[in-house]
Amino acid sequence: MEARQKQTHWYLLTGLLLGLAIGLVFSILVMPVENADALPGELSPQAKDDYRAMIALAYASNQDLERALSRLELLEEPNTVDLLTAQAQNMLASGGSETVSRALAELATYLSQYLPSTP
| Residue 119 in this model has a pLDDT that exceeds 60 | no
pLDDT digits (tens, 9 = 90+) for 58-93: 999 999 989 999 999 999 998 889 999 999 999 999
Query: Is 80 inside any structural domain?
Result: yes
pLDDT at 33: 82
Query: Is 70 inside any structural domain?
Result: yes
More confident residue, 114 or 116: 114
Whole-angstrom Cα Rg for the chain: 27
State the total domains in the chain.
1
Distance, CA of 39 to CA of 77 (rounded, Å): 13
Query: Is 63 inside any structural domain?
Result: yes
Question: Domain range holding 84?
Answer: 41-114
Taking the model in full, what pTM does it have?
0.67
Question: Do the beta carbons of residue 47 and residue 92 sit within 8 Å?
Answer: no
Residue type, 74: L
Query: Is 85 inside any structural domain?
Result: yes
| Residue 16 in this model has a pLDDT that exceeds 70 | yes
Query: Is 33 inside any structural domain?
Result: no
Question: Do the beta carbons of residue 91 and residue 78 sit within 8 Å?
Answer: no
pLDDT at 104: 94
